[in-house]
């Protein structure tokens, strides 16, 4: 029987090597974050372009119908059919947040188009529409939501 083999242990990495590796990892993480922020900025720019320059299309109308039908099937009397940054309102969502009369006059883009469609198509069928600020990041009004309602009339 032979004795245990003796091997020379590998020398430990130097402090400079460890600092260099840590710096490389930090640089990789910063690059990933930069790419993520660039993708988010691009998506946001596309959303803004879509919100202010395009019209509500058949796919969006079908999605709204599905949301309403799902909510009704679940026994609910309302469905959030659209949301958007409150900063897209002419008053940054102040009228919506404070439930002021005339809040609809602050809407722009697709939100205004949706409101106008509501007035023409849904209100005559007994639907209601309400707007609420749905989140408050850092205590500031964030997104606004438009809710189509079909609550029974109050007697």
What is the tens place of the pLDDT at every residue in 59-115?
999 999 999 999 999 999 999 999 999 999 999 999 999 999 999 999 999 999 999
Cβ atoms within 10 Å, residue 24:
10
| Residues 9-44: tens digit of each pLDDT | 788 888 989 999 999 999 999 999 999 999 988 988
Q: How much is the average pLDDT of 139-147? A: 95
Alpha helix locations (H) across 54-126?
Answer: 58-73, 94-97, 109-117
Same domain as 138, residue 109: yes
Is the overall model pTM greater than 0.85, yes or no? no
For residue 113, the enclosing domain spans 56-149
Spell out the alpha helix ranges (H) of 75-120. Answer: 94-97, 109-117
Tokens of 71: 């909510």
Domain identity same for 83 and 143 = yes
Inside any domain, residue 100: yes
Q: What is the residue-averaged pLDDT of the chain?
A: 91
Q: What is the β-pairing status of strands 78-85 and 143-149? A: antiparallel
Same domain, 49 and 73: no
Report how many domains make up the chain: 2
Residue 40 burial by Cβ neighbours in a 10 Å radius (0-12, 13-18, 19+): exposed
């Amino acid at each position: 029987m032979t004795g245990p083999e003796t091997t020379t242990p590998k020398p430990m990495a130097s402090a400079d090597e460890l600092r260099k590796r840590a710096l490389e990892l930090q640089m990789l993480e910063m690059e990933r974050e930069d790419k993520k922020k660039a993708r988010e900025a691009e998506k946001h720019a596309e959303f803004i372009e879509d919100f202010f320059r395009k019209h509500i299309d058949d796919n969006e109308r079908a999605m709204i119908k599905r949301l309403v039908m799902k909510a009704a099937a679940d026994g609910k009397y309302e469905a959030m059919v659209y949301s958007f940054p409150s900063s897209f309102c002419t008053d940054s969502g102040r009228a919506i947040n404070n439930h002021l009369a005339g809040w609809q006059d602050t809407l722009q883009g697709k939100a205004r188009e949706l409101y106008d469609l509501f007035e023409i198509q849904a209100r005559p069928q007994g639907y209601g529409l309400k707007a609420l600020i749905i989140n408050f990041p850092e205590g500031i009004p964030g997104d606004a939501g438009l809710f189509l309602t079909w609550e029974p009339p109050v007697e």
